[in-house]
Amino acid sequence: MKSKFPLVALIGKYQTVASGASGASSRNVLEDIAQFLHAQGCDVIFEHDTALNMGISGYPVLNLLAIGKQCDLALVVGGDGTMLGIGRQLAPFGVPLIGINQGRLGFITDIPLGSYRATLAPMLRGQFEEDHRSLIHARVLRDGHCVFDALAMNDVVVNRGATSGMVELRVEVDGHFVANQRADGLIIATPTGSTAYSLSAGGPILHPSIPGWVLVPIAPHTLSNRPIVLANATEIAIEVVAGRDASASFDTQSLASLLHGDRIVVTRSDHHVRFLHPKGWSYFDTLRQKLHWNEGVA
């Protein structure tokens, strides 16, 4: 049967690959996947930096902008961190993503590398589940001017400095004052990010279909400051009131240094990320496997 995706982009995790055996192994994996895709009737291109850093030749290459405009599918081989970065950049184009897990947890790169052939073959013929994930649009405002602008799939985190005490943060929702919080920081997480830093800080797990965010204080001074779930149609504003060397991070992959009076304004992005999963995929299966639920149960 003809592939539903005539042109497929292959994107690998190359940033931390050292020269030698590990680099050769990663290159072999990507070349094996490319050959498999060809056998399934797909034309294959490699993302430019993947091909350059892996030493892959013999295939057409495109940058991410061109992939977004031209490709029918992007296949990401790596871990969740790799997928976060690619997902944010391709979201405006609506390109569907499939993740092959070459990392550790694999909440959003959920196809095991060892079984990719059996799993991908029916997906390429149209047998898959589609899963849309929301994005956060965050801006840092200083004296009324935007000095930093970013998208996040997991979370926006406002943190205290590495060597300083707590920060004091004024929190507003849709222009209404909520509280001044003294804490090590504050997390605004999407449902996708609810299983990341937010979970470690005591936040709840949100199902991806819930149009919400979770606001989670990090080590709050007042123990009654608890996580709260908010509709993602709201605008959340966090103002730095006190504390030294505070910063804001966006999916941990981009960072902004903050001054007193800076406001981090968070709204829902107009874009979302399209993930494709094997037929029969369930979010609860992912939670059970990755969080080791039911271990020891007969």
Active-site residues: which are they?
Answer: 80
For residue 16, give every residue at least 6 positions away whose Cβ sits within 8 Å of its Cβ, in sequence order, or none. Answer: none
Amino acid 152: pLDDT: 96
Q: CA-to-CA distance for 50 and 14, rounded, in angstroms? A: 6
Among 15-19, 72-76, 124-128, 193-197, the range scoring the smallest mean pLDDT is 15-19
In single-letter form, the type of residue at position 130 comes to E
How does pLDDT run across 245-291, given as a tens digit for each residue? 899 999 988 788 999 999 999 999 999 999 999 999 999 999 998 88
- Cα dihedral sign, 97-102-88-205: positive
Q: CA-to-CA distance for 168 and 183, rounded, in angstroms? A: 7
- Cα dihedral sign, 49-29-95-60: positive
CATH 2.60.200.30 residue window(s) in the chain: 135-270
Whether 163 has a pLDDT exceeding 80, the answer reads: no
Amino acid 15: pLDDT: 56
User: Are 95 and 120 a contacting pair, CB within 8 Å?
Assistant: no
How does pLDDT run across 5-44, given as a tens digit for each residue? 999 999 998 654 433 335 558 889 999 999 999 999 999 9
Q: CA-to-CA distance for 165 and 146, rounded, in angstroms? A: 27
State the pairing for strand pair 111-112/97-101. parallel
State the pLDDT confidence band at 298, using cuts at 50, 70 and 90.
low
User: Are 273 and 87 a contacting pair, CB within 8 Å?
Assistant: yes
How does pLDDT run across 197-209, given as a tens digit for each residue? 999 999 999 999 9
Across 150-176, average pLDDT: 92
CATH number 3.40.50.10330 given to 7-126: yes
Q: CA-to-CA distance for 136 and 187, rounded, in angstroms? A: 12
Q: CA-to-CA distance for 282 and 81, rounded, in angstroms? A: 21
Q: CA-to-CA distance for 202 and 187, rounded, in angstroms? A: 11
How does pLDDT run across 36-69, given as a tens digit for each residue? 999 999 999 999 999 999 999 999 999 999 999 9
The residues that bridge with 98 in the sheet, in sequence order, are 75
What percent of the chain is predicted at pLDDT more than 90? 80
Q: What mean pLDDT, rounded, does the chain reach? A: 91
Q: What's the CATH superfamily of 135-270? A: Probable inorganic polyphosphate/atp-NAD kinase; domain 2 (2.60.200.30)
Amino acid 20: pLDDT: 38
Q: Where are the alpha helices (DSSP H) in 133-204?
A: 197-200
CA distances, 96 to each of 4, 76, 290 (Å) = 12, 11, 23
Residue 192 DSSP code: G
Query: Rounded to 10 degrees, what is the CA torsion of 106, 109, 113, 114?
Result: 70
In single-letter form, the type of residue at position 188 comes to I
Amino acid 253: pLDDT: 80
What is the distance of C-alpha 282 from the center of its chain? 19
Please tell me the total number of residues recorded for the chain in this structure: 298
CATH 3.40.50.10330 residue window(s) in the chain: 7-126
Neighbours of 29 (CB within 10 A): 17
How does pLDDT run across 77-110, given as a tens digit for each residue? 998 989 999 999 999 999 999 999 986 767 888 8
Number of H helices, E strands in the chain: 7, 18
Amino acid 296: pLDDT: 63
Q: Where are the alpha helices (DSSP H) in 103-233?
A: 116-124, 197-200
Q: CA-to-CA distance for 75 and 33, rounded, in angstroms? A: 10
CA distances, 36 to each of 56, 103, 167 (Å) = 16, 21, 52
